[in-house]
Amino acid sequence: MTQYLLIALFTAIVTFVLSIAVWRIGLRYKLYPAIRDRDVHKAPTPRLGGIAMFLGVVAAFALSSQHPFFSVFWADPWPVLWLLFATLLIVLIGVADDLWDLDWMIKLGAQFLAAGIIAWFGQLQILSLPIGGLSIGSSWVSFGLSIFAIVIVMNAVNFIDGLDGLVAGVCLIANGVFFAYTYMLVRDTGNTTYFNLASFIAAVLVGACLGFLPLNWGPAKLFMGDSGALMLGLLMASAAIAITGQLDPAVLDPEQLGRSQLLGAFIPILLPIVVVILPLLDFGLAVIRRLRAGKSPFSPDRKHLHHRMLDMGHSDREAVLIFYSWTAVVSIAVLLMYVGTQMSWPGDYFIGIVFGAVGVIACLVVTLIPTRRTSRRRPLEEPA
């Protein structure tokens, strides 16, 4: 655990220092687009924070290659190098889009290419589903399913990037919970070293978000842009596949992971989805909404969940904190259910269910009853 905390702290420090540098360079050389009618911010703000986050991630991987604790996944470095190469590709595309507003088909093509590199060369594929010991028999089905999963999560994270500190904070919470889950899951399946690539990626992303958030907290000095949001989604999806999609289904037998025949088998695949449930929900609603209107599913609009909160009367900061609360409540509730099965708590899932129920009620109250009744119609900060 100490090694993971140190790598997260290292990533946070590097990302923070580089974020300051990117911010100053962006202002000095005017590396930002003109303010558009749909933008929330009123002053020119660089959108290249994803570069600092990416370099922080690369620095963490470079440090891990020299540390004996992380030598397991560097024994065969090529999957990791291909993962970093795919991440670099998506960051470059994101930077180009932040500066010149690329066509959505170019961005989507690059996303599928990056996901294909991870699934094929990086060898990160969904080989099994922890539901009753179900294995995916076809390599092509596994390959295609992995690509679509990565692309969907990338876009889901990118779609909620519309308020200061929103994506960085949501991903910080989600990866923190996911780290705890992967660490315990590997421990409970008999790995005495407690090391796995998914926990490492989650810890690194916690550090990257933590280091970037001070400059992104409202009023933001620096945006992560598409480069940062797409990178976070890509690495989060890769981490989920690295742990859940590749575990032996026999190890995930409900008799071993929980006394409940039903929920115990679903928790290992449920929690990686739950930690990004709000981005996935917003993404799904946006795609349906735009397709019904005869538009591209990637055309920007002002009907995302956070925009609806602003229209209800919430301030920008209140909307962000509400998103944080929903993410924490839902993901921690499922995590507590998992812990309950392992610790043989009375009722197994009872504490997690109670925590989730109380948390959801509290979140509904603060969501539906804003502190101000007046509607604050605000435009889109960054393109979805």
What phi and psi, each to the nearest 5 degrees, are found at residue 134?
A: -85, 125
What is the rounded distance in angstroms from the CA atom of residue 50 to the CA atom of residue 90?
Answer: 10
The amino acid that residue 384 corresponds to is A
For residue 129, what are the β-bridge partners?
A: 134
The token pair at 250 is: 């026999």
Dihedral, CA of residue 173, residue 175, residue 177 and residue 180, to nearest 10? -140
Please tell me whether 226 is known to bind a ligand. Answer: yes
**Secondary structure (3-state) at 274:** helix
The token pair at 278 is: 């709000």
For residue 135, what are the β-bridge partners?
A: 128
Please tell me whether 216 is known to bind a ligand. Answer: no
Q: How many residues does the chain have?
A: 384
The token pair at 176 is: 């923190």
What phi and psi, each to the nearest 5 degrees, are found at residue 128?
A: -155, 160
The token pair at 302 is: 């002002």
Contact partners, residue 175, CB within 8 Å, separation at least 6: 202, 203, 205, 206, 209, 236, 239, 275
What is the rounded distance in angstroms from the CA atom of residue 343 to the CA atom of residue 42?
Answer: 52
Known binding positions: 158, 226
Known binding positions for Mg(2+): 158, 226
